[in-house]
Structure 1
Amino acid sequence: MDIATITDTANLPQPSLQPIQQATYKANATDFIVNELLPLDFTGEGEHLWLHIEKSGMNTAYLAKLLSEWADIPLRDVGYSGLKDRHALTTQWFSLRIPKKQLPPTEFAPVDIGENETVTILAQHWHNKKLNRGTHRANQFVITLRDIQFASASDENGENDALPEQPLSAKEAVEQHLTRIGKNGVPNYFGPQRFGRQGNNVREALSLFARPPREPRPQPKKSKRKRAPREQNTMELSAARSLIFNEILAARVRNGSWNTGLAGEVFNLDGSGSIFTSETLDDTLHARIDSGDIHPTAVLWGTGNDKVTGSAADSESTVVQHSPLLMQLATGLEQHDIKAQRRALRLPIEALSWEWSDDQTLVLNFTLTTGSFATSVLASLVQQLIS
């Protein structure tokens, strides 16, 4: 299988047939709204100016650069929690370290931006800390699906000559599906943006792994601080781990164990980074899995993947060993001394609601924890997404 195909997340299996055959999303910026959820009590003092900003048509890193130029501060003194989509209407917080609180003489109003790029400051507060990456708890999404074509009942039987369902019953099928995933969650796949166009980030990872790893720089003798060497090529390494994870999760979806667990499983406690292992599955664990209190996990590949055992470990190693591409990626990650981590196989959907604007337009509203992808929710609902 070529890289473009294996990184096309539309090819990943789903637990059940999606009730929408085709839909358009991101027809315009307001069709994909992302609001960063970051509850925080500001101190009202300190040298960090926090700005709540609404933007569209530009990515987070570019906006951070504009803010650093406006405030005449180094880019490293601009903080943000997460990267937000360029082709969307998003709100998120930025922090700017302003020495002595000496603000620029003019308001932040960039003029050298494109016709479809907008920036609006919604609120600002002084605080005594910088905003660090990964600080926000979750993101709220408001996504509009347009030009919906419903899957017909014949799709499940592989027949093409049957008449399609009437719109009302098709809409009911969509709503039943939404109710089910709102209760049970969806496979926690990494989204297509992780892999780049046609899987180019994975190709870059293979090129990186073909070169000998860099030797760590010697620590200056006068320095008493012991810093771990900062790994470069984060995008490529992340793409490699994400592809391996997606393929392991795909195998678990196919055999039905993605949301039930296996012997030797490593479980994640819902809403936290806490994990624990279990060699066997008893009624208590099954009840906790069914309630959504805990989730089965799979490895984010690296060294020290020694927590998982039994059938769960066998399932991970089998997927990797049967794919020359995944073996290359796994070996490269280990040679770069990337430490193994765990990621939940199941993605809970918080506060899922929906509204039909008309018979072919559906507006979804839901919240996902940091690090998960709205496209995973859409993929569980729509067979073919067009943007």
Structure 2
Amino acid sequence: MTAISNNDPRPLDLANIDFSTVTDTSRLPQPMMPPIKQATYKASATDFVVNEILPLDFTGEGEHLWLHIEKSGINTAYLAKLLSEWADIPLRDVGYSGLKDRQALTTQWFSLRIPLRQLPESEFAPIDIGDNESVTILAQHWHNKKLNRGTHRANQFIITLRGIEGQDTDKSSIEQHLQHISASGVPNYFGPQRFGWNGNNIREALALFARPLPEKRPAAKKSKRKRAPREQNAMELSAARSLIFNEILAARVQDGSWNTGLAGEVFNLDGSGSIFASEDIDDTLRARLANGDIHPTGALWGVDNDKISGLAARIEDKVVNNSPLLTQLATGLEQRHVKAQRRALRLPIEDMSWEWPDEQHNDTQTLVLSFTLTTGSFATSVLASMVQQLHTAELN
């Protein structure tokens, strides 16, 4: 894939971009018409449950106290701050694997490095939380390692959809659709939370790319640091890559190749970060695609995206070059030497089940879904494949 040629270096006029619309994931195409016309979720915290799946054998020794915590109405980063204050340790010594939704009932693990295992005299009972916020410690274990970001394998979701119109809804068609996506997966779109309120993360990305690049410093001696420092402006860079990826995936959904592959494709091995390229699609690859062993991928834009070729590469270039907004984002990423990566276009769904509670009011129905997704994927991708108009209730 060739680098983007920016023939017009002038930044876009931000005042003329409707960021809310360009980042509206509900407009993205689906392979099949969602069977539910409209529904509401997050009417209460218990309507959106997320359980972190982190299989681990604890050593029972070491100076890292691992806490399994159930929380509601409070975000992960703020809870980490409260834990660091309680234990009187630096915030950097509090570990967690992933960020969990504030407007939900979630369980996740935290680790606290406690020197000499000297616990505070009082139990953890945060006082700086509101009436609609809760924190409960479910279990605790000593371990010899800190919990690092991205450690957990997957998340289990239990989501309640309310306000499903009875007169427009056929239970059998909904259940057939659920069986289909359980077997075949759904488009692996990034969710709306990646783009911020009204798409402001894309606005910030464009503002970042419009600023002059920092001058290069003289090469320094190799550091003994084992890990590179976290990328600056990570939120803006991630949002830019996510928007480009969503538009590439949308084009692949429209041409029907999102789950079948193209000439020059880069494939992802299911359940791993391994990828490989193939100039042609043969019967062996078709069989592996059909049984979910491999998935086509799309670009997380950046430099050195040289594995993809042929028709698959031409589609990605066309998507970016035909949009001034995407061109500007891609150019900004390349100028900052962000390294390209690949993301699966198809999202497998594990352990899908559902039930219809005995609730029916004013010709509406309630559906409870339970499923598991790998880390880095979004439950909203599953919901978007099912509901044409998905409304979020305002939690009190």
Q: TM-score, normalised by structure 2?
A: 0.91
Tell me which residue corresponds to 2:184: 184
**Residue of structure 2 equivalent to 1:159:** none
Secondary structure (helix, strand or coil) at the match of 1:314 reads helix
CA distance in 1, matches of 2:70, 2:227: 36
Offset of 1:231 from its aligned partner? 2.1
SS of the residue corresponding to residue 356 of structure 2 reads: strand
Match of 1:70 among 86, 95, 100: 86
Structure 1 counterpart of 2:269: 269
SS at match of 2:252: helix
Q: Deviations over 1:5-35 (max 9, x none)?
A: 1100000000011110110100000000000
SS at match of 1:70: helix
Residues 90 and 215 (structure 1), Cα distance of their counterparts in 2 relative to 1, 3 Å cut: farther
**Equivalent residues in 2 for 1:121-132 (5 A)?**
121-132=137-148
State the SS of the aligned residue for 1:351.
Answer: strand
Tell me, in whole angstroms, the C-alpha distance in 2 between the residues paired with 1:380 and 1:351.
17
Look up the match of 1:385. 390
How far is the alpha carbon of 1:2 from its aligned partner? 3.0
User: How far 1:50 sits from its partner (Å)?
Assistant: 0.3
How many Å separate the matches in 2 of 1:271 and 1:84? 21
SS in 2 for 1:10: helix
Which residue of structure 1 lines up, in the alignment, with residue 160 of structure 2?
144
Contact 1:55/1:117 (CA < 8 Å) preserved in 2? yes
3-state SS of 1:148 partner = strand
> In the alignment, what sits opposite 1:81?
97
What is residue 373 of structure 1 aligned with on the other side?
378
Matched letter for residue 355 of structure 1: E
Write the distance in 1 (CA, Å) between the matches of 2:180 and 2:222: 60
Describe the SS at the equivalent of 2:371. Answer: strand
- CA–CA distance in 2 between the matches of 1:201 and 1:119? 29
Is contact 1:140-1:365 (8 Å) kept?
Answer: yes
**Which one-letter code corresponds to 2:384 in the other structure?**
A
Q: Counterparts of 1:176-325 in structure 2 under 5 Å?
A: 176-215=176-215, 224-225=224-225, 228=228, 230-325=230-325
Q: Who is 1:31 aligned against? A: 47
Write the distance in 1 (CA, Å) between the matches of 2:203 and 2:165: 35
Identity of aligned residues (%): 78
Higher relative contact order (CA 8 A, sep 6+): 2
Residue 249 of structure 1 aligns to a residue whose secondary structure is helix
Cα distance between partner residues in 1 of 2:223 and 2:263 = 47
Give the 3-state SS of the residue equivalent to 1:83 in structure 2.
coil
Q: 1:217 to 1:131 in 2, by over 3 A?
A: farther
Distance (Å, rounded) in 1 between the aligned partners of 2:117 and 2:33: 56
Instruction: Report the secondary structure of 1:200's partner residue.
Output: helix
Q: What is the CA–CA distance in structure 1 between the aligned matches of 2:193 and 2:217, rounded to whole Å?
A: 32
Q: What is the Cα deviation at residue 74 of structure 1?
A: 0.4
The answer to which of 208-217 and 332-341 deviates more is 208-217
Hey, what's the Cα distance between the residues in 2 that align with 1:250 and 1:222? 42
Q: Is the 8 A contact 1:24 1:385 kept in 2?
A: yes
Per-residue deviation, residues 144-164 of structure 1 (Å, max 9, x unmatched) = 0001126xxxxxxxxxxxxx5
Contact 1:216 1:229 in 2 (8 A): no
* Structure 2 letter corresponding to 1:93: W
Match of 1:155 in 2: none
Q: Which residue identity is paired with 1:386?
A: H
> Aligned letter for 1:34?
V
- Give the match for residue 70 of structure 2: 54
Residue identity in the other structure for 1:363? V
- 1:197 Cα deviation from its structure 2 partner: 1.0
> In structure 2, what residue type is equivalent to 1:3?
F
Alpha-carbon distance, 1:213 to partner? 2.6
Shift of 1:4: 1.6
Distance in 2 (CA, whole Å) between partners of 1:230 and 1:199 is: 23
User: Conserved in 2, the CA contact under 8 Å of 1:73 and 1:98?
Assistant: yes
**Per-residue deviation at 1:223?**
5.1
Amino acid at match of 1:381: M
Cα offset, 1:58, TM superposition? 0.4
Counterparts of 2:383 and 2:371 in 1: how far apart (Å)? 11
C-alpha separation in 2, matches of 1:272 and 1:146: 35
Q: Give the Cα–Cα distance (whole angstroms) in 1 for the partners of residues 380 and 144 of structure 2.
A: 36
- State the AA in 2 paired with 1:375: T
- SS where residue 20 of structure 2 aligns? helix
Secondary structure in structure 1 of the residue aligned to 2:385: helix
Q: Match of 2:277, SS?
A: strand
Partner amino acid, structure 2, of 1:176:
Q
Instruction: Pick closer, same or farther for the CA change 1:213–1:113 going to 2, 3 Å.
Output: same
Partner of 2:149: 133
Counterpart of 2:198, as a letter, is Q
Which one is further off, 358-367 or 60-69?
358-367
For structure 2, list consecutive stretches of 5 or more residues without a partner in the other structure: 1-16
Instruction: Answer whether contact 1:298 1:342 (CA < 8 A) is retained.
Output: yes
With normalisation by structure 1, the TM-score equals 0.93
Gaps of 5+ in 1: 151-163
- RMSD over aligned CA atoms reads 1.5
Inter-CA distance 32–341: structure 2 relative to 1 (3 Å threshold): same
Aligned length: 371
| C-alpha distance in structure 1 between counterparts of 2:264 and 2:38, whole Å | 39
Q: Tell me the distance in 2 between the aligned counterparts of 1:216 and 1:112.
A: 44
Distance 1:315 1:100, change over 3 A: same
Q: Deviations over 1:67-99 (max 9, x none)?
A: 000000000000000000000000000000000
Question: How far apart are the structure 1 equivalents of 2:315 and 2:192?
Answer: 24
Give the whole-Å Cα distance in 2 for the aligned partners of 1:184 and 1:224: 46
Deviations 1:85-120 (A, max 9, x none): 000000000000000001001000011210000000
